[in-house]
Each structure stands twice: as C-alpha cells, then as structure tokens.
C-alpha cells in the first residue's frame, strides 16, 4: 500500500510540474534577457570525466572548456563565476603531471566569451584556487587561494587559504589583509558599490562557519552571522546565506540586522552552494538536490513569494547575468 501511495504521489507531482523551456543543450533552460552559467561534466578521450561550463542565453550556447594543459576544478570544491557583463568567465584551474597523475599547480583563469581565449594568473598550491567572484563593474576578481612557499611546491596542505583580488586590466594580484582563514569551496560576493566583500570563514568558538563582511579599504572584517555560502543582493539591501543548524536559506542586512528566513521552499529541497541572485535582485535561484532524482532548479520571486520550478534533473546554475544588448 505504501509503495502504491508513493508512486501515486510522484505521478501527481510530475503531472503538476510546468513545462520546461530547454536551451540548445539538453539539461539547460533559458530565462528572458538573461545569460546563465551552467555546470556540466563530460568524458575525455581517455575516458576520464572532466568538467566544462556552459554559458546559455536565449540566442546562443557556448561551451567553455579548460585550456590545453589545465583542468577545471570540480564544482564540489570551487565556484566559477560569470562576469556581470556576461563577457567573461572566471574559474580555478590546475595542471597535472600525466605520468604520475598528480596536480602540480593551480592558477586563476579568465575566459573571454568574445575572443574565445584564456588568460591565466598566479602560481598557487595544486587545487589551491577556489571560488571566484567578479566585482560589479567587472574590473576585479576576488578568489580564494593557497599560496606556495616556493615555486616547486605541489600540494602544500598546511598553508592557509586566503583571499586575493586580481586587477583584470593590469594583472596585479593583491592579498586581502583580513586575518581569517577563507573556505575554498564557499561562495564569495561583492557589495554593489565594490567596496566590500562577503565570504565564509572558519570558525567560531562553536565550530560553525562565520559570514564576514570585509572592508576592502581598511581590511577590517565584521562577523554578521554564522552560516555558509553568502551572496550579496545586486540591490545591496540583503545578503543571503545558509543557516547550517536550521538548514534554511536566510536573509540578513549587511550590517547584521534584520535576519529572517526566506519564504518556505516546500521542505523537499537541499540547495547547494548558496542561492544565486537575479541581476535585478528581485529573485533567488536555488540549485536543489533530491535523493535519487538528480538536480532541480527553482526560482523564488521575493516580491510575492511565488516559487517556480524551472527544470527537473537538470544541470546546476552557477551564475546569472543580464544579456548584453545586440
């Protein structure tokens, strides 16, 4: 009887789902006037899985593959970024010694969606370039990095993971002076005015992660909450993050006041790597993982609380930008 009821419930849910408009690549979808950054995993000629990215608009789909000699970092350990102008992608890359199958170093990679070319920056511990984030004007990239003690180092496990900023015009790398230890696979996000950065750091006295707002001019940091994967609204009024204890997506003002849970998301979801804000700051996108059913993507309209499932068993969305004018 329980099995029959479970099947009937699944059928009812399936019939109630809205039709999904998929893009040119299976497992993606499009949003009007938007460009979306999707993850994907493909298999190389050697039979080994490797990660690529998909940049999908209403008119085009671009496959972003890592440059020759490099491998894109796994999405479980890093978070790639789509530039606000939808003209570039930033991604942590690593090199391998094919004979020994070990990583040698990591770099920050910027891919131009206009020129279809890569530029790489830095020389970090293998696997030591983590999540990245473009500044609102696209001129800087913040990223988590694990610096080498010497150029020959490969893995350097004991070195702390810190934050750095790349000036995309000059290629200059500037360490952030905040003394806390960054979390490599955590979201990073900029304030709309480009003066502050919010990130996830380890750890409080209760061994939970901290959400910290960093003043880039002065280097000081303010702990505003305990949680993971913060993302700053493009409007500047809210920062979203996950409360680990409540297993809820929360909103909090940048000064640490007004914390509240996001509208109830029906209880079936486990959103991954934080929420993704729409370019206008009116919506939140959630990548959800359900047992034995792959990934789903849902979008919450903050103005009216409407939650819409955009796709089922799809690729996860890692970035959302406005589509540039033709």
- Report the CATH number at residue 45: 2.120.10.30
Rounded to the nearest integer, the mean pLDDT of the chain is: 80
Please state the length of the chain. 326
- Check whether 235 has a pLDDT greater than 60: yes
- Check whether 111 has a pLDDT greater than 90: yes
What is the spatial distance between Cα 48 and Cα 308, in angstroms, rounded to a whole number? 35
Task: Check: CB of residue 254 under 8 Å from CB of residue 236.
Answer: yes
The end-to-end CA distance of the chain, in Å, is 57
- Check whether 242 has a pLDDT greater than 80: yes
Task: Check: CB of residue 181 under 8 Å from CB of residue 160.
Answer: yes
- Check whether 249 has a pLDDT greater than 80: yes
Confidence band, pLDDT 50/70/90 cuts, at residue 62: very high
Task: Check: CB of residue 63 under 8 Å from CB of residue 257.
Answer: no
Task: Check: CB of residue 186 under 8 Å from CB of residue 200.
Answer: yes
**What is the value of pTM for the model shown?**
0.85
- Domain residues for the domain of 194 are 2-322
pLDDT digits (tens, 9 = 90+) for 76-101: 557 899 999 999 999 998 886 655 55
What is the spatial distance between Cα 33 and Cα 69, in angstroms, rounded to a whole number? 35
At residue 77, the 3 state secondary structure works out as coil
| pLDDT at residue 169 in the model | 96
* Greater pLDDT, 27 or 192: 192
| pLDDT at residue 10 in the model | 32
* Host H or E run for residue 2: helix 2-16
| pLDDT at residue 208 in the model | 80
| pLDDT at residue 15 in the model | 27
The pLDDT of 161-184, averaged and rounded, is: 88
pLDDT digits (tens, 9 = 90+) for 2-49: 334 333 323 232 322 333 333 334 578 899 999 999 987 654 434 444
CA angle, residues 307, 241, 127, in degrees to nearest 5: 115
DSSP secondary structure of 4-24: HHHHHHHHHHHHHSPP--B-S
| pLDDT at residue 42 in the model | 54
At residue 3, the 3 state secondary structure works out as helix
pLDDT digits (tens, 9 = 90+) for 270-298: 566 689 999 999 999 988 776 555 578 88
At residue 224, the 3 state secondary structure works out as strand
Worst-scoring range by mean pLDDT, 67-76, 231-240, 245-254?
Answer: 67-76
Beta bridge partners of 45: none
| pLDDT at residue 171 in the model | 96
Task: Check: CB of residue 145 under 8 Å from CB of residue 163.
Answer: yes
Q: Which two tokens stand for residue 112?
A: 């131009």
Q: Which residues of 147-181 are buried (b: 16+ CB within 10 A; e: fewer)?
A: bbeeeebbbeeebebbbbbbebeeeebeebebebe
Pick the most confident of 167-176, 197-206, 244-253, 259-268: 167-176
Q: Which residue has the tokens 């992608």?
A: 89
The pLDDT of 180-204, averaged and rounded, is: 86
What is the spatial distance between Cα 302 and Cα 291, in angstroms, rounded to a whole number? 27
- % of the chain beyond a pLDDT of 70: 75
- Looking at the 3D structure of the chain, how many domains does it have? 1
| pLDDT at residue 230 in the model | 94
- Check whether 217 has a pLDDT greater than 70: yes
């Amino acid at each position: 009887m329980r099995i029959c009821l479970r099947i009937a419930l699944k059928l009812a849910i399936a019939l109630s789902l809205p039709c999904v408009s998929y893009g040119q690549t299976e497992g993606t979808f499009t949003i009007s006037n938007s460009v979306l950054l999707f993850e994907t995993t493909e298999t190389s000629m050697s039979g080994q899985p490797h990660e690529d990215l998909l940049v999908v608009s209403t008119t085009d789909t671009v496959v972003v593959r890592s440059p020759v000699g490099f491998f894109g970092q796994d999405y479980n350990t890093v978070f790639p970024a789509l530039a606000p102008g939808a003209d570039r992608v930033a991604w942590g890359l690593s090199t391998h010694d094919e004979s020994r199958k070990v990583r040698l170093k990591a770099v920050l990679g910027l891919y131009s969606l206009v020129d279809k070319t890569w530029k790489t920056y830095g020389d970090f511990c293998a696997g030591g370039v983590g999540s990245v984030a473009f500044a609102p004007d696209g001129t800087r990239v913040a990223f988590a990095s694990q610096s080498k003690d010497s150029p020959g180092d490969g893995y350097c496990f004991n070195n702390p993971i810190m934050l750095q900023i790349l000036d995309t015009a000059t290629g200059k790398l500037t360490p952030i002076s905040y003394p806390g230890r960054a979390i490599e696979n955590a979201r990073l996000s900029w304030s709309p005015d480009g003066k502050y950065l919010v990130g996830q750091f380890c750890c409080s006295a209760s061994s939970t992660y901290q959400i910290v707002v960093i003043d880039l001019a002065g280097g000081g940091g303010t702990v505003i909450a305990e949680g993971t994967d913060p993302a700053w609204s493009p409007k500047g009024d809210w920062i979203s993050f996950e409360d680990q204890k409540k297993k809820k997506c929360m909103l909090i003002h940048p000064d640490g006041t007004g914390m509240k849970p996001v509208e109830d998301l029906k209880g079936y979801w486990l959103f991954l790597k934080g929420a993704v804000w729409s370019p206008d700051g009116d919506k939140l996108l959630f990548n959800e993982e359900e047992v034995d059913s792959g990934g789903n993507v849902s979008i919450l309209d903050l103005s009216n609380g409407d939650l819409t499932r955009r796709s089922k068993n799809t690729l996860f969305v890692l970035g959302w930008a406005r589509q540039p004018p033709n």
